[in-house]
Structure 1
Amino acid sequence: MALLWKQLSDIYGARFTHAHGESDASGVWYQALNDLSRDDLRHGLHALYRDSRFETWPPNCTQFRHLCLKRAGEGVPTVHEAFREVQAHLLFPSRTRWSHLVVKHSLVRAGVAFMDKAPVHQAFTVFKNVYEELCRQVADGILLTDVPETALSPIRTKRNPIPNLKSLLRTA
Structure 2
Amino acid sequence: MQDSNKLLEQANRQLASSPNTPTAAGQTNSEPLPDRDAVIDALNQMFAEFELVYHNQYNKAFSNPEKLSYAKKIWFSNLRHISPERIIAATHRAIRESEFLPTVKGILKYCEPDLRELGLPDSHSAYMEACRAPQPKAEYTWSHPAVYHAGRACDWFFLAGSTEHTAYPVFKRHYEDICQRVINGETLSLPAQIALPETISKPLSPDEQRQRMQQLRDELDI
Give the TM-score taking structure 2 as reference length: 0.40
Larger radius of gyration: 2
Structure number with greater CO (CA < 8 Å, separation at least 6) is 1
Give the TM-score taking structure 1 as reference length: 0.49
